Amino acid sequence: MTYDLIGKRVRVHLYSRDGLVLGSIEGRVADVAEAVEVGKHPDGTAVRKDLAYVVDIASPDPETPYRNSAGEENEGWFAIQDLEVIDENRPRLFAN
């Protein structure tokens, strides 16, 4: 299901913990993982999301590379729900 994303160029929409859009980055999907536990609901049940490992991330500011929470540059895991496959034949999802 999500494995068809591997190798595709994507735009990742970044959000703050409060749900505000921070911007976007672009990269290539290298791997996917389905139903990964990413947290717990207040009732103790697991919150699960499908994730994509994005590499070759191009930061909007070339002087400041993207760093994930582990400090690695230009790669990281992201929720698939926050990805947009880049296809030049279609308009951008969040175009202004």
Q: What is the pLDDT of residues 43-89, one digit of tens each?
A: 999 999 999 999 999 877 878 888 888 888 999 999 999 999 997 55
pLDDT at 31: 95
Say if residue 96's pLDDT is above 50.
no
CA gap 23, 14 in Å, rounded: 5
Structural domain contains residue 27: yes
List 57's β-bridge partners, or say none.
Answer: none
pTM above 0.75, yes or no: yes
Query: Is 96 inside any structural domain?
Result: no
Percent of the chain with pLDDT over 90: 57
Tokens of 73: 């540059």
Residue 95 located in a structural domain: no
Domain count of the fold of the chain: 1
Q: Does residue 93 form part of some domain?
A: no
As a whole number of angstroms, the longest Cα–Cα distance in the chain is 44
What range does the domain containing 67 cover?
2-85
> What is the rounded average pLDDT for all residues in the chain?
87
